[in-house]
Amino acid sequence: MLSGIFSCTEFERTLNRYRDLTTRELLRSIPRGGPNGLYELVSIYPNRLGKGFRAAVCFAACGALGGSLRQALNSAVAIELFHNAFLAFDDFQDGSITRRGSSTLHRRYGTAVALNVANATNLLGLQRVLENREILGSAATWLIAEETSRMMQCSLEGQAIEIDWIRENVCTLGAQDYLRMCLKKTSWYSFIYPLRVGAIVAQSHARADQFCRFGWYLGAAFQVQDDILNLTGEYSKYRKEIGGDLLEGKRTLMLIHLLNRCGAKELRTLRRFLGKSRDQRSQSEIDWIYAMMLEYGCIAYARKVARQLAGAALLEGLTAFRDTLDSEYKQFILQLVLYVVMRNH
């Protein structure tokens, strides 16, 4: 059970501690030298300091199950490397302009360089997974490698689903379609994978399956809240372009709700907008869609769904960790559920 009053500030201090521990080790381990425009660029996104959710979840899951942070550090670094590689690929596929308050890799260095750096980042992540042999032994390392393969597959399939919706201008989706996409694209690599890897590091392999439902609900709540912030957040805090999801034509929960609620004439206009390329879409069109979302209660609806998903995640988390000793790690994981839907960046 959660103890005391939840404090975002206190939670963020712990989150930042995990992030900084991971980032220091990640940056230390990037190869020096090599061809120009490769390894020195791997450090760009990590140096911009994201939230570090994924590495923190791995640390906390491992600690809650009796493992040590020292043993989990290598896996946490691998997880963060995979995340930064995904960001570079995602930014290119979406045509995004900014990431963490500055230009995206492909905007600054060109497509060829950005994609090669993303591939190098994934390679370094894989190497860190394999280095677990010296820390955890061959059996646990093989299990983590299998989890990594599954995570990669789910993430790629989730991304394919979203890209196909945009490419084919699909406008007949429901909330369940969106949530299934979230399971593949967000929940697995952001929460299920780090939780399961943390359990393996702590030598609690048999417990890994207990975290799937928890991670699914938590990831979906996280994604819905992130989509809301993309519309309503402040750039200085969010550090990505506000309204970028609409410019990219992403089928967020709010947009899906609008497509199912608006009138026939509005729907035709929306279909024409979504059939355009990103460069053809205008700010006035974005403003019109945002106003309609407010009119039809789409953002309020998404906030309600995010809280419902977070509530389901909290119940699953309490169940998954019910027979573990109370600890700062367990508290962190359960408080993460609250933070995910309370955050403003």
The ranges assigned to domains in the chain are 8-342
Q: In the prediction, which pLDDT does 237 show?
A: 62
Q: Map tokens 């280095």 to a residue.
A: 131
CA distance 225 to 208: 26
* Residue range 31-89, pLDDT digits in tens: 998 999 999 999 999 999 889 999 999 999 999 999 999 999 999 999 999 999 999 99
Instruction: Check: CB of residue 3 under 8 Å from CB of residue 331.
Output: yes
Query: Which residues of the chain fall below pLDDT 70?
Result: 1-6, 235-241
CA distance 1 to 239: 34
Q: Give the pairing of strands 102-103 and 98-99.
A: antiparallel
Q: In the prediction, which pLDDT does 246 show?
A: 94
Q: In the prediction, which pLDDT does 243 show?
A: 86
* Residue range 233-249, pLDDT digits in tens: 776 665 566 788 999 99
Q: In the prediction, which pLDDT does 208 show?
A: 86
CB-count burial class (<10 Å; 0-12, 13-18, 19+) for 268 = exposed
Q: In the prediction, which pLDDT does 10 show?
A: 87
Q: What is the dihedral of CA 208, 209, 214, 219, to 10 degrees?
A: 80
Q: In the prediction, which pLDDT does 1 show?
A: 43
- State phi, psi for 263 to the nearest 5 degrees: -75, 170
Residue in 34, 33, 75, 30 with CA at minimum distance from that of residue 57? 75
Q: In the prediction, which pLDDT does 6 show?
A: 62
What tokens does 338 get? Answer: 């609250």
CA distance 261 to 82: 38
Q: In the prediction, which pLDDT does 60 show?
A: 97
CA distance 246 to 265: 19
Q: In the prediction, which pLDDT does 123 show?
A: 97
Q: In the prediction, which pLDDT does 240 show?
A: 65
Tell me which of 3.40.50.170, 3.40.50.20, 3.90.1150.10, 1.10.600.10 is the CATH number of domain 8-342: 1.10.600.10
How large is the greatest C-alpha to C-alpha distance in the chain, in angstroms?
63
Q: In the prediction, which pLDDT does 103 show?
A: 94
